[in-house]
Chains A and B, each alone.
Chain A
């Protein structure tokens, strides 16, 4: 599995994401600076990290989504490439139009930074296929704007197309239907607010996050 991590000014956990991808696949992830206009050849997965790209100016993820590299990421996704966006990366994917809905200020108005329990809402995706529906994972959240909103039609569409990847067991931010992560129509783009790359080593208190990366490797092996 060949992967790349996009790096914006203000990204964080980009290195952790690269470690997560490398541990699962055995192949180091390539770091790609946001000013590049194209992605390296032959990639299977592009990962957009968390953080505070461009200082969260204007709207979280808004400026990053308009950087040259994002057009290449959109093209990659439209050709069927796998893309994962974590936290600010989820915000960037929404701002770039790859995922629907919006992420607003947390309902409690506070920055929430803690481990949360996630419930796997579908095993039918390249990011969750080694999990079972209903299976619980402990993964940290750290965000101020993770309150996912969708209008009635969109929510119905996400539910009926089985595109909710993860739900919170205890909703930390007011997200509609406890949504923590959603999939694109072709199921190959995942955006999630929790950080799987941050709980990916027993020395750090757990490795539930590794399941997302292992699922990706598994799904690409089966496909490839």
Chain B
């Protein structure tokens, strides 16, 4: 079963890389970019076949390792 975890900085946490991307887009002529946040995507291939169990395990993985919940939010997607 494939799954995907999106990790993004929490609102209110300054994202210097997002800011740099925003400025670069502006200098390329893309006007009206009002905000950019950079995050990461982690794709997982799990032996688990029960989506509910997979989601619970993924949540545990996020809390223990994949995200730093002091500064990051995560979103889990079980792709089946």
Contacts and interface: CB of A to CB of B under 8 A. Distances in A.
Interface of A: 58-59, 62, 66, 95, 100-102, 104-109, 147, 149, 174
Interface of B: 13-14, 16-17, 20, 64-66, 68, 70-71
* B contact patch SS: helix
Contacts of B65: 58, 62, 66
Contact of A149 (B14, B17, B20, B64): B14
Contacts, number: 31
29 contacts: A58-B65, A58-B66, A59-B68, A62-B65, A62-B68, A66-B64, A66-B65, A95-B68, A100-B70, A101-B70, A102-B71, A104-B13, A104-B14, A104-B16, A104-B71, A105-B16, A105-B17, A106-B16, A107-B14, A107-B16, A108-B16, A109-B16, A109-B17, A109-B20, A147-B16, A149-B13, A149-B14, A149-B71, A174-B16
Contacts of A101: 70
A143 to B, nearest CB: 14
Contacts of A147: 16
B53 to A, nearest CB: 22
A140 to B, nearest CB: 22
Nearest to B19: A109
A4 B64 CA distance: 26
A30 B16 CA distance: 39
A102 B16 contact: no
A66 B66 CA distance: 11
Q: Which 4 A-B pairs have the closest CB atoms?
A: A102-B71, A102-B70, A105-B16, A109-B16
A74 to B, nearest CB: 14
